[in-house]
Amino acid sequence: MGIINMTPDSFSLDGCMMRSKKHAHDYAYRYALKQIREGADILDIGGESTRPGAARVTAEEEKQRIVPLIKRLAAKEDVPISADTNKVDVAKAALDAGASIINTIKGTNPSRSLLRMIARYGAAIVLMHIAGGTPRTMQKRYRYEKNLLGEIISSLKDSVEKCLENGIKSDRIILDPGICFGKSAEHNLRIINQLQRLKILRYPVLIGTSRKSFIGCVLKRPEADKRVFGTAATVAASILNGAHIVRVHDVGDIHDVVLMTDAIMTEKVSQL
C-alpha cells in the first residue's frame, strides 16, 4: 500500500502540499503513477495529518484535498484506492469518486454512521487500533494494563463485531494494530515481534511502520526521510510474523523487501 499525503504538514516530509498547493494535485497524480510503476498494489490517499499535535482539518478542506485526485486516478488506473479518513462526509465523497476502501484511525470505536455508509457501498474498511483518544492526545493519555497485544486484540474484536452488526461483510474487513498511535517505542517493537497473535481474529492484517518515530528512536535518526532501512527491517519482520499488507512511503525500495521476504517464506523464486 503506497502512501499519498495530500497535506502540508506530514511528519514523513513527503506531503504533496508541502511544495506548492497550486500544483499539488498534478504532483500527487504523477507521484501516484510512480508508486504504481514501483509495485504499489493499493494507494492510500489522505488529506489530514494524524501526527501528534497536527492541526484539525475541516471536512470540506479534506474533500478538496483528496477527492479530485481519487476521481482522476479511479478514471484511469485499476489499482484499488483507499481513503485515509475518519469523517463520514469525506468517506462518502471518496467512495463516490471511486475509492473502494476506507482506512479509519478510529477503528477502536468506529461510528455507526460510518459503518452503515461503508456497508451500503459494499466497500472495505481498515480498522486501526488507537489508544488515547485522538492524534492530538494519543501520545499523552494512553495506558495499558499487563497485556498490550491482548488489549489490542480485544478492542479490534469488538470493532469487527460492530462492523458485522452494521452490515459490513466479513471479507471487507482489515485490521491494523496502530503502530505509534497511543504506543511507546517499546510497545511498537512488541507489536511487531508478537504480530502473529492477531491471527486469532482471522482477518487480514495491515501494518504501518513507515518512517515512524520509533524507528528514529532505535536508529537515532531524527529525520523521517532517513529511516528507509529501518522501515525495511520492520516490514520484513512484520511479514514474517503475519502481516498481509504493508503501508509505506518508499514503495520502490520496500517492494524489493517484500519480494525477498516472500521468497524466503515460500522458498521459491518467482519467474519474471
* Three-point CA angle 195, 182, 145, nearest 5°: 75
Query: Cell numbers of 215, please?
Result: 524507528
CA gyration radius for the chain?
18
Q: Which entry of 63, 92, 212, 227 is annotated as an active-site residue?
A: 212
* Residue 86 vs residues 69, 104, 264: alpha-carbon distances, Å: 18, 5, 37
Rounded alpha-carbon distances, angstroms, from residue 132 to 40, 54, 114, 151, 178? 31, 15, 21, 13, 12
Measured torsion, CA atoms of residues 189, 193, 198, 202, in degrees rounded to the nearest 10:
130
Catalytic (active site) residue 202: no
What gap in Å lies between CA 34 and CA 189, rounded to an integer? 31
The three cell numbers of residue 36 are 504504481
Q: Which three cell numbers stand for residue 4?
A: 499519498
User: How far is the C-alpha of 19 from the C-alpha of 261, rounded, in Å?
Assistant: 35
Q: Is 212 a catalytic residue?
A: yes
Active site members = 212, 247
